[in-house]
Amino acid sequence: MITKKQKKLGQVFLKDKKVLKEIIKASEIQSKDQLLEIGPGKGVLTKPILETGAKVVAIEKDPQLVTFLKNRFKNKLNLKIIHADIRDFLQNTQCRILNTQYKAIGNIPYYLTSHLLRLLLENSKKPSLIVLMIQKEVAERIVAQPPKMNILAISVQFYAKTEIICYVPKTAFYPEPKINSAIIKITPVNTKENTNEVFKKTFFNIIKAGFKQPRKLLINNLRKNLKIGKDVLQKIFLQLNFPLNTRAQNLSIKQWISISSLLMKNIV
């Protein structure tokens, strides 16, 4: 039975075994791996993960489900169940129980997606791989390319490679949600830009300035919000071979990094 509290937490439960196999396959799980499972619910995904022999740290917010999970998997030595909000877990000392190398996996509440990804990708102990079930439209925003770039896509692609594995209909869950889902695979990568604290801070300030009014030309947004002279910006656009009528959504992640590198000399 699904309680009112569970509905309030945005919980739906996966029932399609074919989808479970897709998640497991995308996660490339080996017996030596450690998995951080986010929101295990009733353990539908937990069970096949445990069967691979991998170690699992499962973070569940609902106390009723924590009790259920501990009873269901009481004999599983490769499972540790923690009653916590994943956002709190990633930001406190509990996170230290994870090994240096771990993968994150889960069917997460849709309202949590962008905040959770930021916490995972900016964490000092970031996962080597992230495979999540999220809202279809959000997944498409994350993997977007020009001319449909957006702040969420840039925020994730700055840290990782992204790929939609497959789409999942709402009929694969109970209770049935109002929206369709997608399995997304996110592979974090370390670059000289995303490991440099000064560059990261400046980069995201530039991104916010560029998308302040998306319908306006990028050069005007940057001039107004970063207080940089139009002549300076025109020179940078010319150097990077960007048309002067470029809008924020037209630039790829590599182009945003390039323009940020040049702009830093004028705003830092």
- CATH code of the domain covering residue 218: 1.10.8.100
Q: For the segment 26-79, what is each residue's pLDDT rounded down to a tens digit?
A: 999 999 999 999 999 999 999 999 999 999 999 999 999 999 999 999 999 999
Kind and range of the H or E run holding 58: strand 55-60
Position 222 pLDDT exceeds 50: yes
Mean pLDDT over 198-224 rounds to: 95
Confidence class for position 11, pLDDT limits 50, 70, 90: low
pLDDT band at 266 (very low <50, low <70, confident <90, very high): confident
Domain that includes residue 139, residue range: 4-188
- If one counts every other C-beta atom within 10 angstroms of the C-beta of residue 267, the result is 14
Nearest 5°: phi and psi at 62?
A: -80, 115
- Are 211 and 82 in the same domain? no
Q: What pTM, to 2 d.p., does this model score?
A: 0.91
Q: Residue type for 14, please? A: L
How many domains, the chain?
A: 2
Same domain, 160 and 67: yes
Q: Residue 127 has what DSSP assignment?
A: -
With cut-offs at 50, 70 and 90, classify the pLDDT of residue 265.
confident
For residue 53, give both structure tokens. Answer: 């022999």
**In this prediction, what percent of the chain has a pLDDT beyond 70?**
96
DSSP for 146-204? TTS--HHHHHHHTTEEEEEEEEE-GGGEES--SS-EEEEEEEE---TTTT-HHHHHHHH
Is residue 49 domain-shared with residue 71, that is, in the same domain?
yes
The residue ranking higher by pLDDT, 136 or 12, is: 136
Per-residue pLDDT at 108: 84
pLDDT band at 179, cuts 50/70/90? confident
Same domain, 165 and 120: yes
For the segment 88-116, what is each residue's pLDDT rounded down to a tens digit?
Answer: 999 887 777 787 799 999 988 778 899 99
Same domain, 166 and 244: no
180 and 227 both lie in a single domain? no
pLDDT for the residue 4: 42
pLDDT band at 268 (very low <50, low <70, confident <90, very high): low
Answer with the one of 163, 188, 213 that is the final residue of a domain.
188
Strands 129-135 and 181-188: antiparallel
Residue 132's DSSP bridge partners are 106, 184
Which tokens sit at 132?
């999540």
134 and 84 in a common domain: yes
182 & 231 share domain? no
**One-character DSSP codes across 12-26:** -EE--HHHHHHHHHH
